[in-house]
């Protein structure tokens, strides 16, 4: 099929590339000429394992093209995907200006029937707005051309997006027209061969499904962090509790790892957007509100433990920060817990030496104007003159350091473990002060 992808961000680039990999003719459109030029040179703007090689091979095969010409993009695709950003406004609502701008562009340039697919994460009712915008734009030309609007939310995990797209656990198609649904089913047939993963529903239900999925995941994270904070105060070990409840097949082990809160481009934004939608429609959504407030508090947990250990005397101290991205296998620092931690430390007069295997460039941009922050090229460079190690992101290279060597390099043998990677008993035997998340009596912070 001939497909057009409006937006070459995370979702648009991965989706377009994976469709091209299956033999489709894909044109990716973006208003950012610099980004398009970089993609044409083979430069990938995001860190995603396997994506660079897949983009290169499909560009060479002629199945994947990048352009800024919106009219050409509309003409090219029999199916047009809207995969632009929907950032949160100050009130938590999703900003639909980019989505509706693409809808107007489609209405201005379409000269043949089209299927328009909302791939962006959008509030319930956005499909109606897209349809009305295209209708109004066509009427102003004036022109009468058939089109259908479909919701096809993405469920990609950063760091595993290629595998998630090529081997999906579900394919949600929200369509009110049978012919449009059949076209999407045909497009997704190569990804749906072993067993039927396709779930057909109406447009509004598909829009809510995406928000419901992300809020459910965020809820598990915040609930586990609530339990971890209780464990700290009750003298229990949340890691033992996690194993005990995870063995229940009704609960399972996914998303019940305590830590310093969720971050990234999806969960924080989508929780706020669903809460805003609920309140707009006269519903308080107390659980959703609590999920967001618990996460804000959890983002400050490591700073609280650091302040308690050093008696609030942080001025002049240096801390080695291990991990900056909101999770491993990505360079995404949007709403990452590391941001709140570093901001808090430097406001209290501390210096930071930080390292992340993938997010170094993003970190340089984020902290360029903060002289108290040094972004290091290697993990061990962070230890110079450091008063302690603060683990924020659970990258593999942080899992098994040489603790004896580490102790020799630190001014104070203290580790703040925001992901419970390390064994408190073992570190205690080596003479470390250990602070985890919900480790109860094992935590020296009590």
Residues annotated as catalytic are: 266
* Closest-CA residue to 446 (of 230, 233, 228, 231): 233
Helices 126-140 and 97-109: angle between axes, nearest 10 degrees? 40
Pairwise CA distance, residues 358 & 122, whole Å? 29
DSSP state for residue 380 in the 8-state scheme: G
Cα 372 to its chain centre, rounded Å, is 27
Pairwise CA distance, residues 15 & 396, whole Å? 27
Pairwise CA distance, residues 203 & 214, whole Å? 18
Contacts of 251 (CB under 8 A, 6+ apart): 245
Q: Are 344 and 324 in contact (CB under 8 A)?
A: no
* DSSP state letters, 409-420: H-SS-EEEETT-
In SS3 terms, 156-213 reads as: CCCCCHHHHHHCCCCEEEECCCHHHHHHHHHHHHHHCCCCCCEEEECHHHHHHHHHHH
Angle formed at CA 261 by CA 255 and CA 267, multiple of 5 degrees = 70
- Phi, psi (rounded to 5 degrees) for 140: -75, -15
Pairwise CA distance, residues 246 & 236, whole Å? 16
In SS3 terms, 24-85 reads as: CEEEEECCCHHHHHHHHCCCCCCCCCCHHHHHHHHHHCCCEEEECCHHHHHHHCCEEEECCC
Pairwise CA distance, residues 237 & 255, whole Å? 17
Distance linking the first and last C-alpha atoms of the chain: 61
Q: Are 89 and 124 in contact (CB under 8 A)?
A: no
- Find the largest Cα–Cα distance for the chain: 78
């Amino acid at each position: 099929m001939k497909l057009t992808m409006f937006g070459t961000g995370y979702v648009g680039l991965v989706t377009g590339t994976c469709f091209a990999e299956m033999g489709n003719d894909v044109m990716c459109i973006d208003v950012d000429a610099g980004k398009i030029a970089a993609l044409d040179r083979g430069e990938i703007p995001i860190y995603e394992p396997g994506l660079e090689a897949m983009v290169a091979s499909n560009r060479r095969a002629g199945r994947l093209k990048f352009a800024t010409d919106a009219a050409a993009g509309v003409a090219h695709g029999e199916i047009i995907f809207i995969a632009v950003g929907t950032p949160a406004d100050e009130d938590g609502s999703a900003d639909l200006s980019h989505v509706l701008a693409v809808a107007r562009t489609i209405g201005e340039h379409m000269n043949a029937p089209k299927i328009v697919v909302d791939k962006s994460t959008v509030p319930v009712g956005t499909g109606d707005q897209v349809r009305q915008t295209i209708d109004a734009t066509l009427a102003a030309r004036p022109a009468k051309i058939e089109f259908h609007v479909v919701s096809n939310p993405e469920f990609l995990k950063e760091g595993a997006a290629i595998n998630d797209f090529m081997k999906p656990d579900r394919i949600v198609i929200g369509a009110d027209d049978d012919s449009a649904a059949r076209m999407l089913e045909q497009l997704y047939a190569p990804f749906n061969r072993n067993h039927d993963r396709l779930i057909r529903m109406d447009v509004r239900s598909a829009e809510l499904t995406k928000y419901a999925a992300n809020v459910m995941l965020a809820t598990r994270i915040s609930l586990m962090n609530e339990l971890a904070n209780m464990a700290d105060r009750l003298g229990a070990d949340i890691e033992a509790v996690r194993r005990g409840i995870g063995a229940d097949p009704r609960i399972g082990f996914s998303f019940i790892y305590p830590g310093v809160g969720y971050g990234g481009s999806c969960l924080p934004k989508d929780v706020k957007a669903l809460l805003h939608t609920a309140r707009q429609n006269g519903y308080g959504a107390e659980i959703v509100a609590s999920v967001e407030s618990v996460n804000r508090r959890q983002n400050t947990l490591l700073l609280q433990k650091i302040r308690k250990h050093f008696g609030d005397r942080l001025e002049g101290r240096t801390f080695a920060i291990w991990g900056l991205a909101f999770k491993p296998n990505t360079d995404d620092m949007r709403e990452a817990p590391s941001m709140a931690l570093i901001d808090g430390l430097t406001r209290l007069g501390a210096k930071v030496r930080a390292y992340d295997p993938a997010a170094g460039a993003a970190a340089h941009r984020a902290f360029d104007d903060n002289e108290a922050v040094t972004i290091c090229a290697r993990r061990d460079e962070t230890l110079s003159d450091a008063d302690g190690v603060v683990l924020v992101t659970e990258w593999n290279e942080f899992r098994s350091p040489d603790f004896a060597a580490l102790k020799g390099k630190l001014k104070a043998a203290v580790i703040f473990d925001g992901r419970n990677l390390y064994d408190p008993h073992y570190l205690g035997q080596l003479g470390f002060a250990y602070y985890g998340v919900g480790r109860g009596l094992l935590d020296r912070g009590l």
